[in-house]
Amino acid sequence: MNSQKSSNDLNNKVHVFTSCTSCYIPKARVLAESVKKFHDSITFHLVLSDKLPDFFDLQDEYFDSVIFIESLDIDNFPQWTFKHSVVEMCTAVKPLAFRKIFSTYSECQKIIFLDPDTAIFSSLDGLLDHLEENSILLTPHQLEPEKTEEKIRDNELAILRHGIFNLGFIGVKASPEGHKFIDWWSDRCLNLCFIDPANGIYTDQRWIDLVPSYFEDFYVIRDPGCNVANWNLSNRVLTGDVNTEIFVNQSPLVFYHFSSSQSIMSDKHDVVNDVSGSLLQWYQKKYIDMESLKYGNLESFYNFFDNGESISNQARILYRYSKKLQELFPNPYDTKTQKRSFFEWLQLNNSIQHDIGSLYLGDLEHVNHHEKISALSKNIDLLRGEINIVTAEMAAMESSKFWKLRTAWFALKSIFKGE
């Protein structure tokens, strides 16, 4: 499903989009307004991994269209969304949205993605010029080495875990190399776009570290005015005035990334000056003006079973790694039409959900949780035939059978704990 305005500008050659859920619409509005300020003919798309609230009216928006996640090329859609957290989902759809926009708008030659918590402060012409000569446009998190041990740990080591390039921005051209890149990136994000740094994955971002190895037609932007954020302020000096023009290391500020960790990192490393402080105040005011109070607390549609109960991270993780659960519950959200539901199974097996979550979430940096959860899932599948943990008659299990389940589960725990 793709909602759009009636406009003579929809088939222009440059498109910009962002990706979020409904609670981020106020931030996306700030971004879209800032883009339109400098480029009123650029088509701006809101890619939404959510349902729109009833009070949303596209005709009153800065967005030219809303592209819903259901319209993207995703097989086994209920299973796929269930396996992903909101952050994982909104990042995984990015390459799919590139492909969707290129295929829908035949005259589109260049697409830029920007995170919803960014804003434009000067023309994007320089970036678009780079896309004349290159198919892939990237911005690194850092342009200069850090100089203290603490900043090396906080910034450089974090980059090594999460990805060299900041995927709050990426540009792609409609060229053979550009389409080849989008196809490769889409394939990776469809299957492996999770927050899992211990196993080498951090959403869509870590994959882009491979671009210099796999593709030739790319360009790395080293303009200090692009993708300014709290994690690189230690090497970027802001001057000027938010009401006129801001400079970064004497270059015009092109766009600023107002990350959710803004205040934490800025306070810790004391990198906020009068200019950056006024910039943050400006953004906060714009965010409020864009109805943050109305949208900010909206929960994503995909955070709930269809009975209104919330979905835990542990439930997502367990379902993600168990092929048998996916076979037994093809629509994990459904609690009404299936004879037995995944929600009911979770209620009967709460200890499994709890222990999976503890294993997965307890030590992200050191435990190879992917392997352990995979092993747990395989053992759960093997136990199924003996203790009937997930059969069509599970709700009618007698207490003795349920006790067998618990006994088998604790035995399984003992195996993994080496007891």
Tens digit of pLDDT for each residue in 324-338? 999 999 999 999 988
Q: Is 49:75 a contact under the CB 8 Å cutoff?
A: no
pLDDT of residue 4: 65
Looking at the domain covering 2-294, what would its CATH class be? alpha beta
| Residue with tokens 């090594």, as numbered in its chain | 160
pLDDT class for 272, splitting at 50, 70, 90?
A: low
pLDDT class for 356, splitting at 50, 70, 90?
A: low
What is the sign, positive or negative, of the torsion defined by CA atoms of 154, 156, 161, 163? positive
The pLDDT > 90 percentage for the chain reads 65
Could you give the residue range(s) of every CATH 3.90.550.10 domain in the chain? 2-294
Burial tier of 362 (Cβ tally within 10 Å: 0-12, 13-18, 19+): exposed
Mean pLDDT of 81-89: 97
pLDDT of residue 5: 59
pLDDT of residue 274: 85
pLDDT value at 411 more than 60: no
Nearest to residue 174, comparing CAs of 131, 143, 127? Answer: 131
pLDDT of residue 360: 42
Pick from 206-220, 229-243, 405-419: least confident:
405-419
pLDDT of residue 340: 85
Separation between Cα atoms, residue 208 and residue 376, nearest integer Å: 31
Nearest to residue 19, comparing CAs of 135, 189, 181, 163? Answer: 189
Separation between Cα atoms, residue 322 and residue 257, nearest integer Å: 37
Alpha carbon 160 to chain centroid distance? 18
- Provide the whole-model pTM: 0.82
